[in-house]
Amino acid sequence: MSNQIIYSSDNTFEQDVLKSELPVLVDFYADWCPPCQMIAPSLDALANELSGKARIVKINVDKNPELSMKFGVRNIPTLMTFKNGELVERVAGAMPKSQLTAFIQKAM
């Protein structure tokens, strides 16, 4: 597990994501979700590669229902990018690391 990944919550989301000076890729996930587990190593690697350039933030949907409702998360993983506190793009489902990289780079 990467120490670069930020685990956010209903209480810390504003600080971790909306007030971030760096672009943010948010992963709405659950521990029991196989596709979420599939992309976790890629997100760990990205968090290390993009350290200082972008942030990777994970939100556990089971523990943070308010955020899941606010953003209409119905499928997991749901990935969103934010820049300057604004939602840039969202996509549902697992994807290879190359696509994850391209996804966050659009917000950079």
Task: Give the pLDDT of residue 3.
Answer: 72
> Which one of the listed residues 33, 50, 104, 107 is annotated catalytic?
33
Tens of pLDDT, residue by residue over 45-54, are 999 999 999 9
Mean pLDDT (whole number) for 7-16:
96
Mark whether 33 is an active-site residue: yes
Domains within the chain, CATH numbers bracketed = 6-105 (3.40.30.10)
Percentage of the chain beyond pLDDT 90 is 96
Tens of pLDDT, residue by residue over 41-75, are 999 999 999 999 999 999 999 999 999 999 999 99
> Which one of the listed residues 17, 24, 26, 36 is annotated catalytic?
36
Phi first, then psi, for residue 2 (nearest 5°) are -80, 140
Mark whether 60 is an active-site residue: no
Residues 6+ apart with CB under 8 A from 52: 22
